[in-house]
Amino acid sequence: MLALTGYAVLVGGDDGGEAAGKSRGTPSASSSAPASPAPSYTTPKDWTEPARWAALPRGERTDKYGSEVGYPHTTEGAVAMGVSATNTSVEPGQDASDGQMRVYRSYLSAADHSAEAEKRNEQAGRQTDQQVRRQMGVPADGALPAGSYVRTTVIGFKVLKESKDEVSFWLLGRVVTKKGELEKESTEYIRSLMGAVWESGDWRLSGIATARAQEQQAGVSKPGMAVPGDAKFNEYGWVAIREAS
């Protein structure tokens, strides 16, 4: 698994982010977060309508780093910020280091900003770039192959705990990798746990809030992974994400 959020790396956040299985030649969007091997997942052929959908709010504006910010002071506003921080793309002209630092600068709580944290994020981004290149079988330097990418998109969420100024939630996502224009896509599914706090008029990802969420989750089974359309998606309590207008 190559796609990471800068936030997850900053807090050392292997919260239980896991990858579930691979499928080949599947067209899609994609998603990000720390990940580790998990039992394989196969999408069923029969469609079961998700029991719950959410059209998450958009940010009010775009900041100087190209990130949507200014989310509403609601639970769905917190989740929407987490989704925006997680959705990323690595492709020719857009590497993982860029995305790593964008998340750090746009979405991290002030308590998680420091010279050391910034350095860790920069290093993590470079390491991810090298992993991407090794996976694609290309040199350590130079442009990525035309038509190649690692795209990440969140496809569902599950709120763990909510209050006025702090929300913790699971994100369920898809990571799609393509090594070149004539290559087939490879798809993996991931989940990650995040904590957000309301700070300076917006939602921010917080290491302290995430640590609290991890403590709440300790000894409790993580939600199973299934995509929208699979009956187990409802069984596991996920909310599907619909594009906001």
**Residue 146, burial from CB neighbour count under 10 angstroms (0-12, 13-18, 19+):** exposed
pLDDT tier at 128 (50, 70, 90 boundaries)? Answer: confident
Condensed to tens digits (0 to 9), the pLDDT of residues 80-120 reads 999 999 998 989 998 888 888 999 999 999 999 999 989 98
Percent of the chain, pLDDT > 90? Answer: 60
Cα 207 to Cα 63, 70, 72, 114, 156: the distances in Å are: 22, 20, 21, 13, 22
Task: Copy the structure tokens of residue 131.
Answer: 């992993």
Whether 12 contacts 211, CB under 8 Å: no
pLDDT tier at 46 (50, 70, 90 boundaries)? Answer: confident
C-alpha 137/C-alpha 196 separation (Å) is 37
Sorted by where each begins, the domain ranges of the chain are 6-241
Whether 100 contacts 117, CB under 8 Å: no
Condensed to tens digits (0 to 9), the pLDDT of residues 14-40 reads 344 455 554 433 333 233 334 333 446
Contact partners, residue 152, CB within 8 Å, separation at least 6: 3, 30, 31, 32, 33, 86, 87, 88, 89, 173, 174, 175, 176
Backbone angles phi, psi at 118, to 5 degrees: -65, -40
C-alpha 145/C-alpha 150 separation (Å) is 12
Whether 52 contacts 240, CB under 8 Å: yes
pLDDT, residue 178, reads: 92
pLDDT, residue 47, reads: 87
Between residues 223 and 124, the one the model is more confident about: 223
Answer yes or no: is pLDDT of 143 > 90: no
Please name the residue that has the structure tokens 């130079």. 142
Average pLDDT along the chain? 84
Q: Can you give the length of the chain in residues?
A: 245
Look up residue 139 and give its amino acid: P
pLDDT, residue 3, reads: 45
Condensed to tens digits (0 to 9), the pLDDT of residues 209-239 reads 999 999 999 999 999 999 999 999 999 999 9
- Predicted TM-score (pTM) of this structure: 0.84
Backbone angles phi, psi at 85, to 5 degrees: -70, -25
pLDDT tier at 135 (50, 70, 90 boundaries)? Answer: confident
- pLDDT, mean of residues 175-180: 91
Per DSSP, 147 falls in state T
